[in-house]
Amino acid sequence: MKLALFASGTGSNAEVLIRSAQAGELSGEVALVISDKPSAPVLAKAQALGVKTVAIRPTSFQNKAEYEQELVSRLQSEEVDLVVLAGYMRLIGPVLLSAYEGKIINIHPSLLPSFPGLDAIGQALQADVTVTGVTIHYVDAGMDTGPIIAQREVPLVEGETHETLAKKIQAVEHKLYPTVVNQLLHEKLGEES
């Protein structure tokens, strides 16, 4: 099984997934890391771990469809089975969705459907909730709206700040994402045998 990771930023989830795969904890390998931002730190992290990377700038294309066609070509030439979004800050359009239907997942730092979109952690603090969390879901055309695969709660404590909450949420993400990705890889392996 082959994974492609899409990320626009720091790449801590991407790093954890690469390390898990390299440690033999996933039934698959990370074939490729793709970023829409050539300066994204995730690229250096993946390269340091010996993973192939590619930066593809959407602005180099006429439109989103052409950009996504390039993504699809890259994924197909690596024979990717599962596309894992890890801080990829773009909506997925019809070209990529139809080529990889049911094969694109995302992680989001809230208990969806609460707090979709940007700064889910800030939104949770603003709303003064006592519990937020992490969601892994299949990707559809909407913003953080696809079918939910797994969720974990993260309680807020007295005096919680953006920084403390972000740290707790990331710790949960780093455990949950490899576990769920591995489950999905197993399901796909089962379907193929």
Residue 86 touches ligand GRF, criterion: CB under 6 A: yes
Closest CB 172 distance from ligand GRF, rounded Å: 10
Q: Nearest Cα to 121, choosing from 87, 85, 83, 150?
A: 87
Residue 33 touches ligand GRF, criterion: CB under 6 A: no
Catalytic status, residue 162: no
Residue 178 touches ligand GRF, criterion: CB under 6 A: no
- Active-site annotation holder among 108, 137, 174, 186: 108
What distance in Å separates the CA atoms of residue 175 and residue 54, rounded to the nearest whole number? 26
Residue number closest to ligand GRF, CB atom: 87
Residue 12 touches ligand GRF, criterion: CB under 6 A: yes
- For the residues of 156-185, what is the DSSP string, one character each? --TT--HHHHHHHHHHHHHHHHHHHHHHHH
Distance separating the N- and C-terminal Cα atoms of the chain: 12
Number of C-beta neighbours around residue 170 at 10 A: 17
Tokens representing 49 are: 């771990």
Closest CB 44 distance from ligand GRF, rounded Å: 13
Closest CB 39 distance from ligand GRF, rounded Å: 14
How many residues of this chain bind ligand GRF (CB under 6 A)? Answer: 13
The helix/strand/coil state of 152 is strand
Which residues are near ligand GRF by CB under 6 A? 7, 9-14, 86-87, 107-109, 173
